Amino acid sequence: MINSILVLAAHPDDEVLGCGGTIARHAVNGDAVHVALMAKGLYSRGEPTAEDVAGLQKAAKRANALLGTASLKQFDFPDNRMDTVPLLDLTKTVETLIAEHRPQVVYTHWIGDVNIDHRRIHDAVVTACRSQPGHCVKELLFFEVPSSTEWRPPGVAEPFNPNWFVDISATLSRKLEALGIYEAELREFPHPRSLKAVNALAQWRGATAGLEAAEAFALGRKIISGA
């Protein structure tokens, strides 16, 4: 059975950082993975050139093609200013994507991230995926993003305590290769958004679950229906 999977991420590279290995695993298993990147990216660092924007969009297409994504949509909500957008507008966009792809599984950001765009996308997705009768989404999972999730101080927000681990031992190399395509977004180690740190996190998440490498999630909801 081919499953429909929807990944909703705030910025280009968040989808790879958060669940790139899992996307590749779904694709290898024959699932149709649809990715939506909601914000423009780059604009929080000043006014980017048209060439910069085109380069980031091209990188997103290449990275997702490498992971095996079935479709990619890039929206233009304001970068690091999504708190200026009414939640209803974000929710309606997510609802449109859900109606189009009818996903059984949805992946998105954890609510406790430092980045405001991550938190707004989380809220929009949770609202759009509320458990109404007949809703297609049966599994809702929240991912961590290095250089955002772990930077939230204790006591300020709910900490990320994963309770769902996906074995990406066979797809970690593809995740790292896809992340390398986002070269302009990467930093040198020991920055958490470096290839070395991302690899180390995958190994640590794997070790905590008895695996060589894993991506960790917090389960928002799992519905098992039928006889």
Per residue in 11-60, pLDDT (tens digit) is: 999 999 999 999 999 999 999 999 999 998 765 555 777 787 889 999 99
pLDDT at residue 136, rounded to an integer: 96
> How does DSSP classify residue 157?
B
Q: Is the pLDDT of residue 217 over 90?
A: yes
Q: Among candidates 53, 66, 49, 76, which has minimal Cα distance to 15? A: 66
Domain map (residue ranges) of the chain: 4-222
Which of 37-51, 145-159, 165-179, 201-215 has the least mean pLDDT?
A: 37-51
* Residue 66 CB coordination number (10 Å): 20
How many Å apart are CA 157 and CA 171, to the nearest integer?
31
pLDDT at residue 174, rounded to an integer: 98
Rounded to an integer, the average pLDDT of 125-144 is: 96
pLDDT at residue 164, rounded to an integer: 98
Single-letter code of the amino acid located at 93: T
Q: Is the pLDDT of residue 140 over 70?
A: yes
| CATH number of 4-222, picked from 1.10.10.10, 3.30.70.2190, 3.40.50.2300, 3.40.50.10320 | 3.40.50.10320
How many Å apart are CA 165 and CA 211, to the nearest integer?
9
* Residue 155 CB coordination number (10 Å): 7
> How does DSSP classify residue 78?
P
Rounded to an integer, the average pLDDT of 123-147 is: 96
pLDDT at residue 193, rounded to an integer: 97
pLDDT at residue 49, rounded to an integer: 77
Any idea which residue has 């968040």 for tokens? 14
Backbone region of residue 80 per phi and psi (left: phi > 0; alpha: psi in -120 to 50; beta: other values): left
Q: Considering the entire predicted model, what is its pTM?
A: 0.96
Helices (H), strands (E): how many in the chain? 6, 7
| Crossing angle (nearest 10°) for helices 116-128 and 87-101 | 60
Cβ neighbours of residue 71 closer than 8 Å, sequence gap 6 or more = 32, 34, 35, 101
Q: Is the pLDDT of residue 227 over 70?
A: no
Q: Is the pLDDT of residue 138 over 90?
A: yes
How many Å apart are CA 145 and CA 192, to the nearest integer?
9
Q: Is the pLDDT of residue 158 over 90?
A: no
Rounded to an integer, the average pLDDT of 190-197 is: 98
Single-letter code of the amino acid located at 54: A
pLDDT at residue 68, rounded to an integer: 98
Query: By the 8 A CB rule, do 56 and 43 touch?
Result: no
Token pair of 114 as six digits: 């430092």
Rounded to an integer, the average pLDDT of 211-225 is: 96
